[in-house]
């Protein structure tokens, strides 16, 4: 099971300092999680900006998981919802940190 601690500890510096970025992939979809800097929609502690991207076509897939979402990314997703989402996507623990 992926925890919020795993996501935070696996993060790398974002090009927009002092932001952070974690990418998880299973070869089918990539989940990009960012926050912690001006212009990013989350503080990377309690809220996160999340993009879900098709690994082959590179198309955004957030609306597949959140049809009510009006954007390609999910803004200010709270940590509990993020953990629920990534564990639903990577249900078999078959993923890698990019």
The Cα angle at residue 65 between residues 68 and 25, in degrees rounded to 5: 145
For 59-73, how does the pLDDT look when each residue is reduced to its tens digit (9 = 90+)?
999 988 888 888 999
Residue given tokens 């049809």 in the structure block: 67
Ordered by start, the domain boundaries in the chain are 4-97
C-alpha 28/C-alpha 35 separation (Å) is 23
Give tens-digit pLDDT for 16-63.
Answer: 999 999 999 999 999 999 999 999 999 999 999 999 999 999 999 998
Instruction: Give the list of residues 6+ apart from residue 7 with CB closer than 8 angstroms, or none.
Output: 22, 24, 33, 48, 82, 83, 86
Q: What is the pLDDT of residue 69?
A: 85
pLDDT given for residue 96 in this prediction = 56
pTM: 0.92
């Amino acid at each position: 099971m992926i925890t919020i601690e795993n996501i935070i500890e696996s993060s790398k510096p974002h090009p927009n300092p002092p932001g952070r970025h974690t990418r998880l992939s299973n070869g089918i979809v990539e989940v990009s999680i960012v926050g912690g800097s001006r212009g990013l929609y989350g503080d990377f502690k309690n809220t996160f900006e999340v993009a879900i991207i098709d690994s082959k076509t590179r198309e955004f897939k957030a609306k597949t998981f959140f049809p009510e979402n009006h954007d390609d990314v999910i803004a200010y997703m709270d940590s509990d919802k993020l953990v629920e989402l990534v564990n639903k996507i990577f249900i078999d623990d078959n993923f890698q940190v990019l």
